Amino acid sequence: MTELPFNELGSIETKSIELFPEGLQLESGVTLFPITIAYETYGKLNEGCDNAILVCHALSGGAHAAGFHPGEKKPGWWDVMIGPGKAFDTNRYFVVSSNVLGSCYGSTGPSSLHPAKGKPYGLRFPVVTVRDMVKAQRQLLDFLGVRSLLTVTGGSMGGMQALQWAVSYPELVRSVIAIATTHRHSAQQIAFNEVARQAVMADPAWQQGDYYETEGPRLGLAVARMVGHITYLSDLGMEQKFGRRLRNRERFGYDFSLDFEVESYLRHQGQSFVERFDANSLLYITKALDYFDVANGYGSLSKAFRETRASYLLLAFSSDWLYPPHQLKEVAQAIRRLGKDATYCEIKSDYGHDAFLLEHQIQTPMIQSFLDRVAKGKI
């Protein structure tokens, strides 16, 4: 008998719900139906229905943010931050985590069945945006009886959703904790995503997205993930972790077999991603990232935040070169120019972009004290 790892949250299951009985009108104008959203909750909603926290995931994340699924040895992706006594304290708060529209972890996406065609959407799936993801989350919260959000939080794409929440639904959002993110992609950020997409689409096994009866673009998807993975780590972090160490040999192989440990690590990251993620979802979600601009339709960043009522905690990491600190600092400045409350902090870390998943010890007290002040109405 295998003993489950101990976790205060106990055993967790992902639930799912059908929303938008009349279809969800997307930013593109297309109406999508049916809509299923996968989600998890941790802790309890209080009687005032005002202790809810929405946690938003990054590109390849899902609803499973904390605790253990039965029989699994790895907890949810932000388990270090969510639980009793943790940054998002489930003794006090009701934490909701949902899988974004377009993903492959239980929410409607390109690998879902096209209702009329009787087979997966593939490229027939409409383009979804961060705004669309947030719109779907809002109906989920209605269903769960959440009337207002103490905070919306997330790192990377999760942080974009958090910012978008404050702008889309100002009356519902009391605070935002956006981490390792930006208000919009730069040319370089778009470029890295485009390379990932091209790697997938260059694989003949991609078959214009209609690969669901085959193995799919395994090689292309692995290359796409390898590119991504380099951008998640810092130069220094990689050097400390791998340096020029060789794998299982004393000297160079003088051939194209594995030589350096960093090569083997990257290939492993590519391989394991292929086992767990849908290539079309990668295309759709990277496109959503590239299209995201919280100021879209407002003319400027400050104008976008003008009607928002939230307080902001914006955390960037010194070695995050994928979402460099200056981007989030710009958001803080735009919000402050409106006379609104925005705390910006650049946290020193060697973990690069991945720091939002790893640096829980430094993030926890900052988040706890921020949430405390928001809960007590002090900011």
Work out whether the CA dihedral 99, 101, 275, 256 comes out positive or negative. negative
Contact pick of 8, 18, 142, 239 for a second copy (by CB under 8 A): 239
Q: In degrees rounded to 5, what are phi and psi of residue 83?
A: 155, 180
Classify strands 311-317 and 175-179 as parallel, antiparallel or unpaired.
parallel
Query: Which residues in the 156-195 window bind a second copy by CB under 8 A?
Result: 184-188, 190-192, 194-195
Smallest separation (angstroms) from a second copy to the CB of 139: 22
- Closest C-alpha among 192, 205, 228 to residue 280: 205
Closer to a second copy by CB, 6 or 256: give it. 256
Q: Check residue 288 for interaction with a second copy (CB under 8 A).
A: no
Sheet holding 342-347, edge to edge: 15-19, 35-42, 94-98, 52-56, 149-155, 175-179, 311-317, 342-347
Residue 254 CB-density burial (10 A; 0-12 exposed, 13-18 middle, 19+ buried): exposed
Residue 317 and residue 349 in contact, taking contact as beta carbons nearer than 8 Å: yes
Smallest separation (angstroms) from a second copy to the CB of 194: 5
Q: Check residue 275 for interaction with a second copy (CB under 8 A).
A: no
The reply to whether 60 belongs to the active site is: no
Give Dmax (Cα) for the chain. Answer: 68
Q: Check residue 242 for interaction with a second copy (CB under 8 A).
A: yes
The reply to whether 372 belongs to the active site is: no
The tokens for 369 are: 């004290």
Q: Check residue 298 for interaction with a second copy (CB under 8 A).
A: no
Q: Check residue 297 for interaction with a second copy (CB under 8 A).
A: no
Closer to a second copy by CB, 195 or 375: give it. 195
Residue 138 and residue 169 in contact, taking contact as beta carbons nearer than 8 Å: yes
Query: Which residues in the 18-37 window bind a second copy by CB under 8 A?
Result: 28
The tokens for 112 are: 């879902």
Selecting among 320, 349, 350, 354, the annotated active-site residue is: 320
Q: Check residue 350 for interaction with a second copy (CB under 8 A).
A: no
The reply to whether 320 belongs to the active site is: yes
For binding to a second copy (CB under 8 A), which residues are involved? 28, 123, 126-127, 184-188, 190-192, 194-195, 197-199, 201-204, 219-220, 222-223, 226-227, 230, 233, 235, 238-239, 241-244, 252, 254-256, 259-260, 262-263, 266-267, 270, 283, 287, 290-291, 293, 321, 324
Active site residues: 156, 320, 353
